Amino acid sequence: MAQAAHPLALPPGAAQDRSKPMPEADMSLLDAAREVRENAYAPYSKFKVGAAVRGASGTVYRGVNVENVAYPEGTCAEAGAIAAMVAAGETELIEVAVIADSPSPVPPCGGCRQKLAEFGRAHVPVTLATTAGARLDTTIGDLLPGRFDAHHMDNV
């Protein structure tokens, strides 16, 4: 039985902008993050972040930061994209893109680095970008060396 598409998921190949000089798959993921960023709920900081992750199926899941007047209760864009992926029934991500309006590409916070490592392997590419076009290409392993993972619990 086929699963219904998740409302925050884009089908593979959607939202591609062929005017940018980047690989096609990269464009789709960055465009998805850029587009969803506008939906961020950031009334306090005004700092909107968009994220997109590609699941192993090729489907793109999007997320935004959601602030709360009680600051610790907000959520990050990366966590939102991962939650959408898991809600759709996927548990492996193969690519990540994060975008914000900042002077330089914004890396994920420590908690989101661990979340990315939970669902993606060390070699998974991560593109960090600004709305002005600056970009940094890295991997989950570079963002979180020495990560805590399931093998640390083998004796439990």
Q: Which residues are catalytic?
A: 78
Report yes or no: 100 and 76 within 8 Å, Cβ to Cβ: no
3-state per-residue secondary structure call for the chain: CCCCCCCCEECCCCCCCCCCCCCHHHHHHHHHHHHHHCCCECCCCCCCEEEEEEECCCCEEEEECECCCCHHHCECHHHHHHHHHHHCCCCCEEEEEEEECCCCCCCCCHHHHHHHHHHCCCCCEEEEEECCCCEEEEEHHHHCCCCCCHHHHCCC
Residue entry with tokens 């994060």: 98
Spatial separation of the C-alpha atoms in residues 29 and 25, rounded to whole Å: 7
